[in-house]
Structure 1
Amino acid sequence: MTVQRFLPLDLTAATTLLCDADGTLFPSEEPAYAASADVTNRFLAGLGAERAFAPEELQRMTNGKNFRAAAAQLATGYGRQLTRADLDGWVTEEKDVVTAHLRTVLRPDPAVQGPLERLSDRFALAAVTSSASSRLAACLEVTGLAALFDADRRFSAEDSLAKPTSKPDPAVYLHAGATLGVSPAEAVAVEDSVNGALSAVAAGYPTIGILQFVPGADRRERTEALREAGVAAVVESWADAERLLC
């Protein structure tokens, strides 16, 4: 088992596993940024950007945030403020483009599905994501994980909150915990990104960092960044997460 522990992890009262989605349950981040790049670059051109950005650059700039938060961040960098209507239009276009692409590239992964099915015997599973609910539903469907995450146990920072936000804001985790009726002692979060870990930790949930879909060359740096974000442990895979949690 490849696990790095940083903080105590008390599972005595834990009943619920709060799982990030993109990059944690399925390898959607790279294909999502590839599909999003055209929309994002057209958006940036309208702000006055003098060049287009590669998907890898956009991912480094905004990893762990949804398009709404990333677009607002990028607009601020160009000294612009967007109206809610303008931002909503871009968010809808990006969501539709990315969701359609992810439906064509994601597949079931036994290395995720098997451990999660066994973990579901011990924990109630919930998905907590910055992405839109429709994108989450599509990804869960094509990866064969939909049956493990009931519709009323899926929480989106884009759609589940009165005011859309994104990780690292803890709002989506606070909302998920309140809706499910679980305290930090009763749930554990699993996150791959630093912004995601910051969100879960700020909400008070003990958090496990997972490297299942993090490229090998980036794992040492990601591990250190997750440790600094406050995670209790970092695991290499869902198989390691299963052994740690059970």
Structure 2
Amino acid sequence: MTTLLCDADGTLFPSEEPAYAASAEVTNRFLAELGAERPFAPEELQAMTNGKNFRAAAQELARGYGRDLAGADLDAWVGQEKDVVTAHLRTVLRPDAAVRDPLRTLAGRFGLAAVTSSASSRLAACLEVTDLADLFDAARRFSAEDSLPVPTSKPDPAVYAFAGRELGVTPDEAVAVEDSINGALSAVAAGFPTIGTVQFVPGDDREARAEALREAGAAVVVSSWAEVVELLT
């Protein structure tokens, strides 16, 4: 094995809960325009769309209200949500030695790449404030929102397939690390062996998430990046 394909949100940093908290205001305005009768709490939105980017979530939510959202209208909502969430994550994320130190060890043996559903600008901001940017070269960051000819989101395997082609690695040469069900489904569908991680999953939810990751095809589930080092080195 030569390469480690790392999901970002919820895997490299604990961004999912604060991202949904910031996204909720935009999402609820969007839902109100669709005809929603009440606002949704961040945890409800996370349960509905975890592992998908806002573009895919918005399209799915719109279909639930009998709308087919695309084009400039969708792009405008995506842009609003991206700006709000990225600004918030810059204020709440911090460097974490429990992530950075194991990743530095892994970087000594494997090429690291980030494979995310989120926008490239959001990924760059999160890597910067968590002090991980130097471990993920810009050419080794892949976004389902920005890197592909047509934006998509996990569980579509397109972003993993694209990353493999760009890096010149086959499923025999790379392993994915994912925290979400949709992310694991994406990596597995692209053929990559997958490690599930629950490092940033709330304690009460860890057992259920671990089981769901196994059902999605993860070969093993770990609770820390230190365990990933033990598995791979």
Asked if these proteins are the same fold (TM beyond 0.5), I'd say yes
String of CA shifts for 1:138-176, please: whole Å, max 9, x gaps.
000000000000000000000000000000000000000
Q: How does 1:1-246 map to 2 (within 5 A)?
A: 14-246=1-233
- Aligned residue identity for 2:19: A
Paired residues, number:
233
Following superposition, the deviation at residue 105 of structure 1 comes to: 0.3
- Secondary structure at the residue paired with 2:172? helix
Following superposition, the deviation at residue 72 of structure 1 comes to: 0.3
Output the TM-score relative to the length of structure 1: 0.94
CA distance in 2, matches of 1:163, 1:192: 24
- Aligned residue identity for 2:144: A
CA distance in 2, matches of 1:128, 1:56: 24
Identity rate of aligned residues, in percent?
Answer: 79
String of CA shifts for 1:87-138, please: whole Å, max 9, x gaps.
0000000000000000000000000000000000010000000000000000
RMSD after superposition: 0.4
CA distance in 2, matches of 1:165, 1:34: 22
CA distance in 2, matches of 1:223, 1:142: 28
- Aligned residue identity for 1:92: G
CA distance in 2, matches of 1:83, 1:186: 37
Q: Which has the higher contact order (CA 8 A, sep 6+)?
A: 1
Following superposition, the deviation at residue 82 of structure 1 comes to: 1.2
Structure 2 alignment gaps of length 5 or more: none
CA distance in 2, matches of 1:116, 1:84: 39
- Secondary structure at the residue paired with 1:184? coil
